[in-house]
């Protein structure tokens, strides 16, 4: 200290920190980390007095999460979760609990053990049956992956690709990009772990469904075993409905799956994708649009470890039916001709019949999986915070209505209302509206979904999008991005600070800050159970606000 009586407390603290660092009393990286931790603790302490927005009674929490009332009571009594008493609340309903905290506590105690012996045996049987014809190469590679305990995990190539993304993102304003030119080259140069011959019937089908990632070295396929299983599921569902000889292989996969698992084969294939993802995790995976929609089931199940996930969407499916169902099923619904025997099935007489690779992402028929087997799937526990841009939803809703004939406009508006009503009725969905376009900032636009273990980054750069629609990153990879700075200390510090933007706890803090500062508005809180009439009234109010 210099003894200056006029020096402010903040200046004195800053000078102390600089002195400790400059004199080598404390290594600079450790000093920076310690100061950040202290700031975060002070910040957390300052907001901890605020009541969580998802407070419910213990009985309501037990019903929403699917655990016993006694279990919730014990967690409160043992201090595993906090309880809160609201001012003016009746003693009958006090104390209340945070639904997300109950979901976290429940899922940490009930999480499945990866790959039970019976499911593993059934999956190996399924793959063995597929080891013939054009599915042989992929089926054998997947079987080897399951049985090989030395299957390689992360690769330095993946770390370098993510590092290039973060470096390009460090710019400000117009200098903020997704990838440098070198990064795009790295992204496109990654070789898929599981190759597929696109000249074979199976490869042609997968390629037409937009399920394969392509490398500049001429190889095509999947970056992870989980996405490969999801690819088989996509071929057996949507792919099996198209005319053409290549679609025969999709029908063969469906028949094979039904032989092994019976009528429940779709859910069992999703089980397999989840468990093989846990058994053989891949730190960085390139996703096509079709894989993004198909994989939401596995992602939400993995999010059970923390019980909470966050999604950001410019064009929300719960409000825009074309984003919920895709063009094929939407055409059937508007023609009152939907075949509901399977959520992905459409009739051949209505609407477009192009394959996903030929369609814009909005019309992709795999979109229905994103919601039916994801967001509103009651078999998956946990709170799903779904945040959307009201400005973008308004523009897209009005544009869609303007393009419809008068007789179809009322049918479309009824579908909009019923789809939103159905979403609002689910107690585990927390629907959040972000009113101003500028508040849906750069990072929100890139976070397709986030959880404590994974984050799916959506790519908007057309150069990068030729290779991938999004990048799935396991958060365990993020520290290695910082280490990739080698001996450049300044770059390492910048990387470390910036990588935090991808970590779930920071995404979560920003989410709560936006709610607290009225940047975003909770349309319906997680844990709130609505009747059909209440949900419809709320849905109609939201739709009117977008059309007024």
**CA atoms of 137 and 131, how far apart (whole Å):** 7
Domain ranges of the chain: 9-47, 55-110, 152-190+283-547
The string of pLDDT tens digits covering residues 198-219 is: 999 999 999 999 999 999 999 9
H or E segment to which residue 163 belongs: helix 156-169
Side-chain-facing half-sphere of 442: CA atoms under 13 Å: 14
Q: Using alpha carbons, list the distances in angstroms from residue 230 to 206, 226, 269, 277.
A: 11, 6, 8, 11
Question: In 77-173, which ranges are E strands?
Answer: 97-98
Span 250-277, average pLDDT: 94
Which sign does the torsion angle of CA 270, 271, 272, 277 carry?
positive
Closest CA to 324 of 368, 292, 291: 368
pLDDT band at residue 192 using 50, 70 and 90 as cut-offs: very high
**CA atoms of 507 and 1, how far apart (whole Å):** 38
C-alpha torsion 71→73→78→84, nearest 10: 130
Residue 196 pLDDT more than 80?
yes
State the maximum Cα–Cα separation within the chain, in Å, rounded to a whole number.
Answer: 85
The pLDDT value given to residue 6: 54
Span 415-444, average pLDDT: 94
Residue 421 pLDDT more than 90?
yes
The string of pLDDT tens digits covering residues 341-364 is: 899 999 878 767 789 999 998 899
The pLDDT value given to residue 2: 47
The pLDDT value given to residue 542: 97
Q: Annotate 189-235 with DSSP letters as a single string.
A: HPPPSEE--TTSHHHHHHHHTT--EE-TTS-EEESSHHHHHHHHHHH
Residue 191 pLDDT more than 60?
yes
The string of pLDDT tens digits covering residues 48-85 is: 456 777 788 888 888 767 678 888 888 887 777 888 88
Q: Residue 515: left (phi > 0), alpha (psi -120 to 50), or beta?
A: alpha
How large a percentage of the chain has pLDDT more than 70?
88
Mean pLDDT (the chain, rounded): 85
Cis before 69? omega within 30: no
Closest CA to 12 of 25, 24, 3, 21: 3
Place of tokens 């303007």: 402
The string of pLDDT tens digits covering residues 279-337 is: 888 889 999 999 999 999 999 998 877 788 999 999 999 999 999 999 999 989 988 88
The string of pLDDT tens digits covering residues 407-419 is: 889 999 999 999 9
The pLDDT value given to residue 1: 42
Give 50's DSSP letter.
S
β-bridge partners, 507: none
H or E segment to which residue 523 belongs: strand 520-524
Span 146-175, average pLDDT: 76
């Amino acid at each position: 200290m210099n003894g200056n009586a006029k020096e402010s407390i903040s200046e004195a603290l800053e000078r102390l920190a600089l002195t400790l660092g400059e004199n080598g009393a404390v290594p600079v990286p450790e000093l920076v980390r310690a100061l950040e931790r202290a700031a975060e603790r002070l910040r957390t302490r300052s907001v901890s007095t605020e009541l969580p927005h998802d407070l419910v009674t213990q009985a309501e929490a037990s019903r929403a999460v699917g655990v016993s009332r006694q279990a919730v009571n014990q967690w409160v009594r043992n201090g595993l979760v906090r309880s809160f008493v609201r001012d003016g609340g009746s003693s009958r309903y006090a104390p209340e609990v945070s639904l997300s905290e109950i979901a976290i506590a429940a899922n940490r105690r009930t999480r499945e053990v990866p790959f039970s012996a019976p499911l593993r045996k059934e999956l190996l049987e399924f793959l063995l049956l597929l080891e013939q014809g054009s599915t042989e190469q992929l089926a054998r590679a997947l079987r080897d992956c399951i049985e090989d305990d030395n299957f390689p995990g992360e690769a330095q190539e993946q770390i370098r690709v993510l590092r290039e993304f973060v470096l390009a993102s460090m710019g400000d304003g117009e200098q903020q990009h997704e990838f440098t030119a070198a990064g795009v080259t790295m992204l496109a140069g990654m070789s898929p772990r599981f190759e597929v011959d696109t000249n074979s019937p199976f490869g042609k089908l997968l390629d037409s469904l937009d399920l394969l990632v392509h490398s500049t070295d001429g190889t095509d396929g999947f970056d992870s075993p989980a996405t490969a299983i999801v690819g088989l599921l996509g071929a057996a569902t949507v792919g099996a409905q198209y005319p053409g000889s290549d679609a025969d292989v999709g029908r063969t996969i469906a028949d094979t799956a039904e032989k092994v698992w019976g009528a429940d084969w779709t859910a069992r294939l999703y089980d397999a994708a989840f468990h093989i993802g846990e058994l053989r995790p891949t730190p960085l995976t390139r996703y096509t649009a079709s894989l993004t929609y198909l994989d939401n089931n596995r992602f939400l199940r993995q999010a059970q470890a923390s019980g909470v996930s966050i999604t950001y969407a410019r064009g929300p499916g719960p409000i825009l039916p074309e984003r919920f169902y895709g063009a094929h099923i939407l055409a059937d619904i508007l023609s009152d001709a939907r075949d509901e025997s399977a959520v992905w099935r459409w009739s051949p007489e209505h609407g477009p019949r192009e394959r996903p690779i030929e369609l814009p992402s909005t019309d992709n028929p795999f979109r229905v999986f994103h919601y039916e087997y994801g967001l509103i799937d009651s078999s998956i526990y946990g709170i799903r915070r779904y945040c959307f841009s009201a400005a973008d939803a308004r523009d897209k809703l009005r544009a869609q209505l303007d393009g419809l004939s008068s007789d179809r406009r009322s049918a479309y508006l009824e579908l909009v209302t019923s789809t939103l009503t159905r979403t609002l009725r689910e107690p585990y969905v927390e629907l959040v509206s972000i009113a101003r376009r500028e508040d849906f900032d750069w990072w929100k636009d890139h976070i397709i979904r986030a959880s404590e273990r994974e984050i799916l980054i959506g790519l908007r750069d057309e150069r990068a999008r030729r290779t991938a629609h999004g990048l799935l990153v396991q958060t365990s990879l993020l520290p290695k991005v910082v280490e990739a700075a080698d001996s450049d200390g300044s770059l390492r510090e910048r990387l470390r600070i910036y990588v935090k933007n991808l970590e779930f706890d920071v995404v979560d803090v920003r989410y709560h800050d936006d709610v607290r500062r009225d940047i975003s508005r909770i349309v319906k809180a997680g844990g709130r159970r609505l009747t059909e009439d209440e949900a419809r009234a709320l849905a109609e109010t939201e739709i009117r606000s977008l059309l007024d």
